[in-house]
Structure 1
């Protein structure tokens, strides 16, 4: 019986160590790049060595993003180090260590739920499909782009799912309702994992670890909270013996920092979008031209669609004064071109020793972008 208890203790410590390391070293893009710098400093050379010798991958990017080779190697490193630490941490330290681990994991899941919940509500995660997607044939879209674009057409779906994630995240802040919050979060993460696998979306590793972390928090101690939820304690939450003001202060402080950090990009995006002079889709009117449409993506990409093959060629662009547009392709080749916008909003663009004339199209009226809802089919 004692050996069995020891085994489960080591399993809990193993996962606890892994999750703490993962929270520290897996870079979250919305928290700037300080995590990436730390991870690269500690594991960069070792990761590169394993990639070259074990996976035969040279010149592989080391951004540790989900489903990348660098993230796979990072997970392997963290699993091995967790195995070592689970034998170093003795029984005397286990209880305190697991308590700290639970706080760290709950905070991490709270940040993830609030971040992606707000992203859904403001349609930052699933934005309305860009013109170049709308004008691409259904069968030519990859499954992940197709799913992403379809979800982006429904504001209601994004608001509902985002609100559920935020609601479950808020519940995590209160010990009495934490178990309920974790149950809702587990349902959310399970659905996300199923979607990522089914539509081949490249965040499978990350969603697996989030779901596992959630299940870790719902182990024996969590299930016992069901009985506590069903019975209301006689003491009030604000009882002088149990209520400590400094806990509330730190909770408010942490929530405030998280909300400011998460909310700042929305304000920055508005400013950046206001600086872009061109958006939308333009139909090429030049008769002797290989292109049918010119798209200006909101993330400052200029995309050409050919008439015959519907092949798309994309460039990152910056607009300067004197009607100049600077294009950069995926090989970092930079070129300058003349771009003139006329009074009727039509454009003239010099590209590959030719002038492309194009007129704007009101793509916002396309069926996919209309918010419609029917109770009855007839």
Structure 2
């Protein structure tokens, strides 16, 4: 009976270990460039499209394997099947070595995820300050995910604290003596993230669930007893084995060095707007005959119109030509070119659109209550 239970535990550990390794290889992380996506599309692309046609009746669907997409769901099903097959190929005498390698890779992977998103929180790239078009949208018209994202983006303190905890957890994972504490902190982080993603319908639910399960996989003791007593350390896990991997320290430094360079590059390679017309924030339209109330210039180069009557918003991707005219592209890829003149004295703009001249003046939306970083110790 004991041997039977031990074999089941071993088989399940190997199965999940194989799944974790495949997931790490094939699930694309955008901040690590697109090599994972290319590998996944090369190996699974045609088969994924075939299953999408049959199961979901989705033809010519975008196959990017992003979280909560149909293509990711197909990929996870395929990886579960292949994990079951590959796990039977790993012999019993290889189990200990295989799990050591698997857990070593998983620890580095989770550490990278925590450090990456911790840095993004501190530098406010994951939860940036809400754009002007969001601030001028009625509360009830916002979707739950945008509402949550925008609310968190208004608090620098929250982002700094949660980001620091994630970075601290990631660093603890890399140190042998503090690995267990790092895993405990990480499981708290991932549990909170999963609850938020489910509660606010944020589209990384499946990814955060797998990260949480991977964390539980690393926290197990005496096989698969998943419920840990916080007050007692695990008796022994595969992470506590004295065996070491060849070139362990060198590989860890090399992998983390490459990843940290990739994470840091966007912060050092921010392109400055070289056009003479600097556009940002929100403009109130002063032309009485115009059907629009506000113009919003999004930081990702989107021009958004808000109508007066319905407050409906219409967005265009924009670019500034060399002669300082504005080029608009809608979601149907229709391109048009318009006159744009900015008065440098008062920053007002004149803009030609739909056969009319639109005059608009800037509004300092940074003074809105939601943008103030206030903290009260006492209420009176």
Query: What TM-score, normalized by structure 2, do the two folds share?
Result: 0.92
Partner SS for 2:293 = strand
**Structure 2 matches for 1:187-336, cutoff 5 A?**
187-220=188-221, 226=233, 247-269=248-270, 271-272=271-272, 277-336=278-337
> Residues 72-111 of structure 1: matches in 2 within 5 Å?
72-111=73-112
1:232 is matched with which residue? none
Unaligned runs of 5+ in 2: 237-241
User: Cα 1:244–1:211, aligned 2, differ >3 Å: closer, same or farther?
Assistant: closer
Contact residue 221 and residue 234 of structure 2 kept, 8 A: no
Distance in 2 between the 1:19 and 1:248 partners? 22
1:349 Cα offset (Å):
1.1
Match in the other structure for 1:234: none
Q: 3-state SS of the aligned residue for 1:162? A: helix
The CA distance in 1 between the partners of 2:108 and 2:234, in whole Å, is: 24
Partner of 2:360: 358
What SS does the aligned partner of 2:233 have?
helix
- State the shift of 1:274 in Å: 6.9
**Offset at 1:256?**
2.5
Conservation of the 8 A alpha-carbon contact between 1:273 and 1:298: no
Question: Does the 8 A contact of 2:304 with 2:315 survive in 1?
Answer: yes
**Which stretch shows the higher mean deviation, 16-25 or 52-61?**
52-61
Alpha carbons of 1:16 and 1:305: their partners in 2 closer, same or farther (altered >3 Å)?
A: same
Q: Residues of 2 paired with 1:98 and 1:331: CA distance?
A: 50
Flag the structure with more relative contact order, 1 or 2, with Cα contacts below 8 A and sequence separation at least 6: 2
1:146 paired with 2:147, answer: yes
Higher mean displacement: 327-336 or 144-153: 327-336
Q: Deviations over 1:77-100 (max 9, x none)?
A: 000000111111110111111111
Unaligned runs of 5+ in 1: 230-240
Instruction: Out of 14-23 and 87-96, give the one that drifted further.
Output: 87-96
The answer to whether the 8 A contact 2:222-2:235 is kept is no
- Corresponding residue for 1:71? 72
How far is 1:372 from its partner? 0.4
Displacement of 1:249 after TM fit?
4.5
**Change over 3 Å in CA distance of 1:128–1:337 after alignment to 2:** same
Determine the C-alpha separation between the residues in 2 that align with 1:22 and 1:69: 16
Q: CA–CA distance in 1 between the matches of 2:273 and 2:322? A: 17
Contact map agreement 2:280 2:296 (CA 8 A) in 1: yes
Per-residue deviation at 1:259? 1.8
Aligned to 2:239: none
Q: Is the 8 A contact 2:132 2:296 kept in 1?
A: yes
Cα RMSD (Å) = 2.2
Aligned to 1:183: 184
Displacement after TM superposition at 1:245 (Å) = 12
Give the conservation status (yes or no) of the 8 Å contact 2:32–2:259.
no
Partner of 2:126: 125
Distance in 1, matches of 2:265 and 2:274, equals 16
